Amino acid sequence: MKSKMRLWLSVSLAAITLASLGLIIGPKHRSLARLNDERLTLAARVADADDGAAAIRRLEESLALARKMARQQTKPIPQDSDFASFMRNLSERLDELQLFDREINTGRELELDLAWSMPMSVTLRGPFTRVHDAIQWIESLQRLVRVQRLRIETDRGRDDKTQLGGVRVEMTLDLFFGADEEMTQALADATGEEDQ
């Protein structure tokens, strides 16, 4: 009987131990697993926040670079056409390049949505390198000038004979001026000039 009693006590003690483990340790283990999952979730959020901050820094750097490029590449639109000065400078530059065979015609000023435009046509005849230099000079002006049309062909000259190395260039240009306040402000906003 003693052995049955011992067996019964051993089984009871084992059952109580297992029940204690199941009732006390099981919930604690589940709670610990839940807390560990929360810790992993929070760690991922912190990593995402760090990535977000890095992404914001990269975007700010990209924006600063884009604004710098816009400031460097954006040409201003003068308030006044200053057409006489433009014509004088163009004539002087063409004289320097020895491009004396030229025609320059202007059209009427056109009112656009946010500015004005002065259309003009320029026809040049001469050696390719000089004509090319003239085109580059026009494109590099410190005011907004759009080359609307450009046609380059071999120059047949006035006597209809092909001139060795000579070209004839026809350009249609638009000189912009008189930008309104809305356009000026939009340009300042885009280039970040208000931050300067």
The C-alpha angle with vertex 122 and arms to 116 and 128, in degrees rounded to 5, equals 135
* Beta pairing, strands 102-106 & 116-127: antiparallel
Q: What is the pLDDT of residue 168?
A: 92
> CA 118 to CA 143: how far, in whole Å?
13
Judge whether 183 and 114 are in contact, CB under 8 Å: yes
Judge whether 99 and 152 are in contact, CB under 8 Å: no
Burial 108-143 (b: 16+ CB within 10 A, else e): eeeeeebbbbbbbebebbbbeebbebbbeebeeeee
Q: What is the pLDDT of residue 83?
A: 86
Record the tokens describing residue 182, joined without a space.
């809305």
Q: From the CB of residue 44, how many other CB atoms can be counted at a distance below 10 Å? A: 10
* Residue-wise pLDDT tens digits, 65-106: 888 887 777 777 788 878 889 999 999 999 999 999 999 999
Q: Kindly give the confidence (pLDDT) of every residue in the chain, 196 residues in length, as a single tens digit, with 9 standing for 90 and above.
A: 677 778 787 877 777 777 776 667 777 777 777 878 888 888 887 777 767 777 788 888 888 888 888 777 777 778 887 888 999 999 999 999 999 999 999 999 888 888 888 999 999 999 999 999 999 999 888 888 889 999 999 877 666 555 667 899 999 999 988 876 666 666 666 666 654 4
Q: From the CB of residue 171, how many other CB atoms can be counted at a distance below 10 Å? A: 20
- Write out the H or E segment, with its range, that includes residue 103: strand 102-106
CATH architecture of the domain 83-183 equals 2-Layer Sandwich (3.30)
